[in-house]
């Protein structure tokens, strides 16, 4: 796969790095619908969309590896459940960038067993119940920008070029005119070379974090 240029943004002159979820790739082919403590993915999604959980403050950063020998330059994520949630929120313009930690392939050897993607990281399949995603509760970008003290990030260019997930055969929509409300994921497998995303199942048992 050809290499791509990705933006690793440092803000406030500190070590924080932010990336668009739509720029990131899944390291796994499937994820669980719950986090380690049993919390449903939909619960975390709903907390963020309601303005009650700042993804860049209350959730650990996702680990990004961009030097995988088989995928030169592509940023793969260990933390696929969080990435799935973030991609869905980005589609609704609830978030634009999330905090990441850039790591090396060699330093993540204890997690390489979880590198199971079969489609170059473009999608994941959820293996269990993930809960209800209250997408119709989304506010406008300015609400979240002020609520979570987000920066003045532009929307990702990739977001407008790439197809996104469709749930229960509902059409894709943007944050101003979405129609998929209070829905539960339909667990199907779809092979695609385009960037379609489904409800996620990752193990990530090596990480002690409850929020994965």
Q: What's the pLDDT at 76?
A: 96
Percent of the chain with pLDDT over 90: 58
- pLDDT tens figures, 139-189: 999 999 999 999 999 998 764 444 433 333 333 333 333 323 444 544 333
Mean pLDDT of 97-105: 95
Residue 129 burial by Cβ neighbours in a 10 Å radius (0-12, 13-18, 19+) = middle
pLDDT: which is higher, 26 or 187: 26
Query: Torsion-angle region of residue 81: left (phi > 0), alpha (psi -120 to 50) or beta?
Result: alpha
Tokens 């407008």 map to which residue?
Answer: 160
Q: In what order do the strands lie in the sheet with 9-10?
A: 9-10, 17-19, 98-103, 62-65, 76-78, 25-26
pLDDT tier at 14, thresholds 50, 70, 90: low
- Choose among 39, 47, 137, 38: nearest CA to 92: 137
Instruction: Give me the residue spans of the domains in the chain.
Output: 9-161
């Amino acid at each position: 796969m050809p290499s791509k240029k990705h933006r690793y943004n440092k803000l406030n002159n500190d070590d924080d790095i932010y990336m668009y979820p739509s720029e990131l790739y899944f390291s796994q082919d499937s994820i669980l619908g719950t986090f380690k403590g049993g919390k449903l993915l939909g619960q975390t999604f709903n907390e963020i969309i309601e303005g009650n959980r700042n993804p860049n403050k209350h959730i650990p950063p996702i680990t990004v590896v961009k030097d995988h020998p088989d995928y030169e330059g592509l940023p793969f994520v260990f933390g696929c459940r969080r990435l799935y949630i973030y991609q869905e929120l980005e589609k609704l313009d609830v978030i634009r960038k999330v905090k990441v930690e850039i790591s090396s392939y060699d330093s993540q050897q204890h997690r390489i067993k979880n590198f199971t993607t079969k489609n170059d990281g473009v999608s994941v399949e959820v293996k269990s119940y993930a809960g209800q995603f209250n997408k119709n509760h989304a506010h406008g970008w300015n609400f979240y920008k002020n609520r979570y003290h987000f920066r003045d990030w532009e929307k990702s260019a990739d977001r407008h070029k790439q197809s996104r997930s469709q749930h229960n055969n509902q059409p894709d929509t943007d944050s101003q005119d979405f129609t998929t409300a209070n829905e539960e994921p339909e667990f199907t497998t779809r092979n695609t070379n385009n960037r379609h995303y489904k409800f996620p199942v990752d193990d990530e048992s090596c990480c002690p974090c409850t929020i994965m």
